[in-house]
Amino acid sequence: MDALDAKYPFFASAREAVAGAAVSLPELVAADAPAVERARERVERALLEGTVASESGAFPGESAYDAQAELLSYPIARILVSLLDSGPAIEKYAAAEAATAMERVRRDLETDDELRSVSTPTVGLDDLLAEFDLADAVRPDATAPAGVRGGAGGGTAGGATGGGAGRDPDGYRIDVGPYLRLTSPEWGDSWRLVNRALADGAVRVSRAELLAALEAAVEARVAEGLPFELAADEGIAEALESRVADLRRLLSERTYAEPPDVVAPALFPPCMTNLIEKAERDAALSAAESFALMAFLVGIGMTPDEVVAFCADTSLDAEGIRYQTEFLTDDRGTQYPPPTCETLANYGICHNEDDHMQVAADPLSYYEKRVAAADEVTDWRDGRESSEAGED
């Protein structure tokens, strides 16, 4: 098992490495091996933050886990997600695996050619295309201006090269069939076939667009076969029962008819007020704290831009806020509401001030009740709009 398999565990070579290893997944789970804890972290971070990278390091070799534990955590994570048996959880997990993989791919492609022999193992664009049987379906765009081919962020691409010292060109042609299979009009009007340059059965795409399509291919492969049934006699489900229960508590799949759609900080639940005040003291929030706060703010109807503005004077990073809130407000129906008060209490976030758990079981319901009971409610957004108008 090598580092490249650990970085890209959905590759066919990685699956073969797992299958060929003298390792029993049931025995690993029963022994609570490091790969099991890494699998739990993998799923939790996927659902909370949209990444499967280890908190102890971005890549295998940089984290506290060795290549074997990192690679074996992938099939165990798939078992955990299957045991959750939740469509939204599967979608979030697959999207996070794909996003993390493509972040690694982009970093690999940005690595200078001369450093590849001494750095961690990397993949080229040709490797990725071959992995998804796209080597013959994607080719450099011969009509791209010579001056822009071989643009920034290159990286070797083997058979996919074409113009400029072994660097990736900026423009590609992808056969229309794979284009339609990998992309979606829901990504925006610019992705609709009627709005694309189509010639000789191929669609012109930029390098960034090609990578976006490949991310969709990774996501589809990760989601394929999930959830699956586990053999009862292996005992894996029983051994993972406590971890699955923790994940279920962490991300309760409740639904709400409509968010309150009013931002009244004075009426926020105590736990959310405490988190905001902590961040305003320039203290870092844990992953669970950040997720709880972002999910609450999104749950009351705030847009990513509004959340960034609301948290401008806190320790929270604007880019991180935007990434997490956009992840929480995606348009695929897989949004998660804030965790329950019980779950927040388990994480030391909720302290049941004023016995508020008797009023509501979760922060959003508590806030809804306070808004409904208030004689007068001032929306924070109204004051922000007045301030912006004054600046104009």
Give the pLDDT confidence of 56-114 residue by residue, as tens digits. Answer: 655 554 455 788 899 999 999 999 999 998 888 898 899 889 988 998 898 888 874 44
Angstrom distance (rounded) from CA 269 to CA 272: 5
Angstrom distance (rounded) from CA 201 to CA 375: 63
Angstrom distance (rounded) from CA 119 to CA 339: 41
The SS3 call for residue 19 is helix
Q: What is the pTM of this model?
A: 0.67
Angstrom distance (rounded) from CA 366 to CA 385: 27
Q: Tokens standing for 19?
A: 């299958």
Angstrom distance (rounded) from CA 196 to CA 181: 15
Strands 171-175 and 138-140: antiparallel
- For 225-249, the pLDDT digits (tens) are 999 998 877 889 999 999 998 888 7
Angstrom distance (rounded) from CA 71 to CA 68: 5
- Looking at residue 57, its pLDDT comes to 57
Edge-first strand order for the sheet with 198-199 is 138-140, 171-175, 202-206, 198-199
- Spatial neighbors of 342 by CB under 8 A, at least 6 apart, are 249, 350, 357, 361
